[in-house]
Amino acid sequence: MQGRPEIPHPALNGQPTVLQAIAEGGNCGGAYQYRWDINGDADYDDANEQMRNANSNGYFAALGLDVTLPAAQGDRLFYPKVQVTCAGETLSATMPVKVTVDRLCPGYPANENCAEGQSLGITRTVYANRAVDRALWWMFVRFSHRGDDGQGHAVHTCIYPGSPTVYAHGHALNAFLRRSHGHGEGRDGDVYYRHVTQCGLNALLSTYSMRGGLFFDDFNNEGRNGEAIQYTNGVLGGFGHWPSYGATAWIEPIANFGNPNYVAPAGPGNVFGRTLRSIGQDLADGIVQCRTSDGGWYYDCRNNTITHSDGSTNGWAPESLRLLQRKFGTETYQWAKNDQRNWLRAHCGNGSCTYDGGGPKLSGNALVGYGWTEDETYNPNDAQVQAHVNSLQNMTPGVARWGLYYIYAMTKGLRSFDPEIKILPNGRDWSAMMNQFLLPQQAGDGSWNWVGDWPWGGSIDQLARTAMSTQIIQTWLETQAWARATPQQAGPGIDITFDHSWSHVLDPTVSIVRYRWNVIDRPGDNGIVWDFETADLNEQFTFQYNDDLGWGEVITKNVMLEVTDSEGRTVLDDANVHIELSLRNHVPVIVGHPDGADAVYGGYIGQPIVLDGRNTYDVDSQHEVFPGDANRPRGVPDRITSLHFDLNLDGDYDDAGEDGALGTVTFIPRPGMVIGDRIAVPVRACDDGQWNGECYDGVTRADCSECAFGAAYVLVVENVDPPQIAAGGPYTADRGQRIQLDLSGTRDPEGVLGMVFSYELIAGEGT
Comparing C-alpha atoms, which of 381, 389, 393, 382 is closest to residue 420?
389
Beta strands (DSSP E) in 465-521 are: 479-480, 484-486, 489-490, 496-499, 504-505, 512-518
Spell 268-300 as b/e; 16+ CB within 10 A means b.
Answer: beebbebbbbbbbbbbbbbbbbbbbebbbbbee
In three-state secondary structure terms, 722 is: coil
- HEC profile of 327-362: HHCCCCCHHHHHHHHHHHHHHCHHHCCCHHHCCHHH
Pairwise CA distance, residues 624 & 641, whole Å: 18
762 CB-near residues (< 8 Å, 6+ apart): none
Comparing C-alpha atoms, which of 176, 203, 169 is closest to residue 257?
176
Instruction: Calculate ∠ Cα 657-659-661, nearest 5°.
Output: 140
339-344: long-range contacts at Cβ-Cβ below 8 A with a sequence spacing of 24 or more? 339/291, 339/294, 339/295, 340/295, 340/296, 340/369, 340/372, 340/373, 341/295, 341/369, 341/370, 341/373, 341/374, 342/294, 342/295, 343/294, 343/295, 343/296, 343/314, 343/369, 344/369, 344/370, 344/373, 344/384
How many secondary structure helices (H) and strands (E) does the chain include? 13, 33
Backbone φ and ψ of 9, nearest 5°: -70, 145
Beta strands (DSSP E) in 489-587 are: 489-490, 496-499, 504-505, 512-518, 532-534, 541-543, 554-558, 560-565, 570-573, 578-582
Domains, the chain, ranges and CATH? 9-102 (2.60.40), 131-477 (1.50.10.20), 485-582 (2.60.40.10), 587-717 (2.60.40)
What are the C-alpha distances in Å from 316 to residues 192, 287, 565? 26, 10, 27
The pLDDT value given to residue 735: 77
DSSP letter assigned to residue 617: B
Let me know: does 365 contact 353? Beta carbons within 8 Å. yes
The pLDDT value given to residue 756: 66
The pLDDT value given to residue 431: 98
Pairwise CA distance, residues 712 & 613, whole Å: 8
Cis, bond preceding 588 (omega within 30 deg of 0)? no
Give the end-to-end CA distance of the chain in Å, rounded to a whole number. Answer: 56
Alpha helices in 647-704 (DSSP H): none
Comparing C-alpha atoms, which of 397, 391, 349, 396 is closest to residue 369?
349
DSSP letter assigned to residue 497: E
What are the C-alpha distances in Å from 42 to residues 55, 423, 450, 571? 25, 48, 41, 40
Instruction: Calculate ∠ Cα 133-137-142, nearest 5°.
Output: 150
Comparing C-alpha atoms, which of 483, 485, 478, 486 is closest to residue 502?
483
Backbone φ and ψ of 485, nearest 5°: -150, 145
Backbone φ and ψ of 614, nearest 5°: -75, -5
Give, to the nearest 10 degrees, the angle between helix 383-391 and helix 363-373.
150
pLDDT digits (tens, 9 = 90+) for 393-422: 999 999 999 999 999 999 999 999 999 999
The pLDDT value given to residue 764: 61
Let me know: does 303 contact 256? Beta carbons within 8 Å. no
Give Dmax (Cα) for the chain: 105
Distance of CA 559 to the CA centre of its chain: 19
Backbone φ and ψ of 144, nearest 5°: -100, 155
What are the C-alpha distances in Å from 677 to residues 75, 83, 84, 191, 444? 21, 11, 14, 20, 30
Strands 560-565 and 570-573: antiparallel
Pairwise CA distance, residues 561 & 488, whole Å: 15
What are the C-alpha distances in Å from 3 to residues 92, 181, 376? 19, 9, 30
Q: What is the DSSP string of 377-393?
A: ---TT-HHHHHHHHHGG
Comparing C-alpha atoms, which of 394, 404, 136, 441 is closest to residue 245?
404
Instruction: Calculate ∠ Cα 580-110-172, nearest 5°.
Output: 100
Pairwise CA distance, residues 485 & 483, whole Å: 7
The pLDDT value given to residue 723: 85
Pairwise CA distance, residues 214 & 303, whole Å: 8
Strand partners, 561: 517, 573
How many beta carbons lie within 10 A of that of residue 747, not counting itself? 15
Pairwise CA distance, residues 227 & 730, whole Å: 76
Pairwise CA distance, residues 499 & 483, whole Å: 6
Residues in the chain with pLDDT < 70? 522-526, 750, 754-757, 761-767
Let me know: does 44 contact 37? Beta carbons within 8 Å. yes
Strands 22-23 and 31-37: unpaired
427 CB-near residues (< 8 Å, 6+ apart): none
In three-state secondary structure terms, 198 is: helix
Q: Mean pLDDT of all residues in the chain?
A: 95
624 CB-near residues (< 8 Å, 6+ apart): none
What are the C-alpha distances in Å from 34 to residues 86, 92, 384? 9, 9, 59
